[in-house]
A and B are shown apart, each in its own frame.
Chain A
């Protein structure tokens, strides 16, 4: 598999075409965080509902490239039902993985593991991490 095939995995394309938990809610209980990347035009909003230290719900609205849209979708799907602590650990592991740093392989990234191909494309790290950074900010 060449670098590009490793980047554009089937799961990523599937999320790009059918993004999960898409659409924002108007509910003040959700913490909302919007990040725009002016250099590429990505525009991503993540909404998180935290109750009793648990991520109860995640909503997302993303426009941009396939990697940023799919990573927002995958994020929303795997984070619902996690404890805040667990969620933060997964974000850190994921960010280390896509930035080609050492990461804790014992942490199960589930579907987000398919973004490992991003590390061969330093220019796309931002695409893969923008939603995750927005999500983590919402947990603080």
Chain B
């Protein structure tokens, strides 16, 4: 068993916490916390406005963060819009692009694997425009397969709203192939990348994604900051959905004009500290290396799955997760009963539907427990988790579940 060299960078792990809820939000390394504090303690000032040192410096760091994000996913910095999170990013696309481009008879292609954030905004668009939602039939395992996608897309498809990685199953969508086919049909592809960006290298140019959304807080960054990547020509012709300070170019009594993308989408004061922290998070991820993260995490996940396969009292719904999310239930125990046992032992899992009801319907279950292995987890964490599962199985059995 390898020593974990990264755990010391995460102060929250000092208090007996076994944190398996990284798919909900990741822990934050010291370097990110320090950058957020640096802004708050020494640079508090607004950006793009002040003429004094602090404001200039904050503006510089804010725009450097945009370049850093662009660089991380192989985009241009003017293609990076800062938002509140993946949800806000996907809503921006739906409410600006979707509402203005879709019409009666058009189709939006999506899947039952989607997080509600990648689904409900498009239901809203469908209700507003008369477009129809269509689902790519999932494989028996619950995956989005290329054949099923090919069989479902049609000339009526104008938008494909799809996850890069499922937040319940951890499956990797064959995105590059899907995007290529979607483009043959003239459809625009909007990708929910919230569960991919922290695990695998994302190259939006190579994927040829039209829109790609993700959150800072799932990739070691602060909460309150999200990213929308959009192709320059798409963002340029889209209207803002929020109006106010900083986004306006010229304001007259009866009309106004707006600045170019991405600033036109960033009305009001943005979460500056979080943006600056995000840059530190990207630097941290680059220093560790996504390949190293993947290898370490995969080894630990394999270790977990081997142990889970020997356990009798649990039902695992995804045996081959690509990003090491494991979703399960204790047999005959509702997930909210089980979760209390784990939380008493300082094990952080998630119980419920994880904002993805349709995949639970697909699995024919009410709710589930979800954990995620990430690179700051240890072999000891996994041992404690599995031992606690065993105890919990016995405990609930004795109670009569």
Contact = CB atoms under 8 A, between A and B. Distances in A.
Interface of A: 2-4, 7-8, 13, 17, 38-42, 63-68, 121, 123-124, 127
Nearest to B365: A41
A41 B337 contact: no
B341 to A, nearest CB: 6
Contacts of A63: 366
Interface of B: 334-337, 339-341, 343-344, 351-353, 357, 360, 366-367, 395, 399-401
Given A2-B344, A66-B401, 9 more contacts: A4-B340, A13-B400, A38-B357, A39-B352, A39-B353, A40-B335, A40-B367, A41-B357, A65-B336
B367 A41 contact: yes
A7 B367 contact: no
B344 A8 contact: no
Given A38-B353, A38-B357, A123-B339, A3 B334 contact: no
Given A3-B344, A64-B334, A41 B339 contact: no
Contacts of A121: 340, 343
A41 B360 contact: yes
10 contacts: A2-B344, A13-B400, A39-B353, A40-B351, A40-B352, A41-B335, A64-B366, A66-B337, A67-B337, A124-B340
Contact of B340 (A39, A41, A64, A123): A123
A85 to B, nearest CB: 33
Given A7-B340, A41-B366, A121-B340, A65 B399 contact: no
Nearest to B336: A65
Nearest first, the 5 A-B pairs at minimum CB distance are A65-B336, A41-B367, A65-B334, A41-B366, A40-B352
B336 A127 contact: yes
Contacts of B339: 123
A64 B365 CA distance: 11
A2 B399 CA distance: 14
A4 B395 contact: yes
A65 B339 CA distance: 11
A104 to B, nearest CB: 27
A18 to B, nearest CB: 11
Nearest to B338: A65
A66 B339 CA distance: 12
Contacts of B357: 38, 41
B353 A41 contact: yes
Nearest to B343: A123
Given A66-B337, A67-B337, A40 B344 contact: no
A63 B399 CA distance: 19
Nearest to A9: B399
A65 B335 contact: yes
Contact of B400 (A17, A39, A41): A17
A34 to B, nearest CB: 16
Nearest to A42: B336
Contact of B337 (A2, A38, A65): A65
A41 B400 CA distance: 22
A12 B395 CA distance: 15
A121 B337 CA distance: 11
Contacts of B340: 4, 7, 121, 123-124
Most A CB within 10 A of own CB, among B336, B343, B357: B336
B121 to A, nearest CB: 16
Contacts of A68: 336
A39 B352 CA distance: 6
Contacts of A65: 334-337
